[in-house]
């Protein structure tokens, strides 16, 4: 996309080196700020597991992607959802290559499925009575 150009309804797939879909970026608007940066408004990111199931859903009102480092940052409140939790914070930094992020400022997390957080315990044998 040329510098200064804006596109509406932009959809960008994130495909790994083996051709598997790792994620999908859907932006209300995208604008090439300069040679190294893309600005997104109303960005929704969906990441997928290795077996093509939805992993994370990330909603950002305003964000900038560094095209060299592939790091996406947002100075505005961001929501990250997964099947077992939802987390919201004031700012976010997400490394799209490593799939690792940091969310800071007024962070609130709601855990909806605690069973995935607890280690699974093997059943304990019942005590035997001695005659």
Please report the pLDDT score of residue 88 as a whole number: 96
User: End-to-end CA distance of the chain, in Å?
Assistant: 82
* Residues 131, 121: Cα–Cα separation, whole Å: 30
Confidence of residue 128 (pLDDT cuts 50, 70, 90): low
Domain ranges across the chain:
6-113
Cβ atoms of 28 and 42 closer than 8 Å: yes
Which among 74, 69, 2 is positioned nearest to 45, based on CA atoms?
A: 74
Instruction: Kindly state the average pLDDT of the residues 74-78.
Output: 95
Q: How confident is the model at residue 129 (pLDDT cuts 50, 70, 90)?
A: low
pLDDT for 21 equals: 87
- Residue 116 is predicted with a pLDDT of 61
Place of tokens 């964000």: 63
- Four-residue CA torsion sign, 76, 101, 11, 67: positive
**What value does the mean pLDDT of the chain take?**
87
Q: What pLDDT, on the 0 to 100 scale, is given for residue 52?
A: 87
Quick: pLDDT tens for 2-61. Answer: 888 899 999 988 888 888 888 899 999 999 999 999 999 999 999 998 888 999 999 999
Token couple for 27: 């932006």
* Integer CA distances (angstroms), 105 to 25, 85, 100, in order: 24, 18, 17
* CATH architecture under which domain 6-113 falls: Sandwich (2.60)
Confidence class for position 96, pLDDT limits 50, 70, 90:
confident
Q: Name the pLDDT band for 127 (thresholds 50, 70, 90).
A: low
């Amino acid at each position: 996309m040329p510098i200064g150009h804006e596109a509406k309804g932009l959809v960008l797939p994130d495909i790994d080196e083996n051709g598997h879909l790792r994620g999908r970026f859907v932006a209300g608007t995208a604008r090439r700020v300069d040679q190294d940066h893309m600005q997104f408004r109303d960005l929704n990111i969906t990441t997928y597991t290795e077996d093509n199931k939805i992993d994370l859903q990330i909603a950002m009102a305003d964000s900038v992607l560094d095209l060299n480092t592939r790091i996406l940052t947002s100075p505005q409140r961001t929501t990250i959802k997964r099947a077992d939790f939802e987390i919201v914070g004031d700012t976010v930094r997400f490394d799209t290559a490593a799939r690792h992020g940091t969310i800071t400022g007024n962070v609130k997390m709601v855990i909806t499925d605690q069973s995935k957080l607890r280690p699974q315990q093997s059943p304990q044998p019942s005590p035997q009575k001695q005659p």
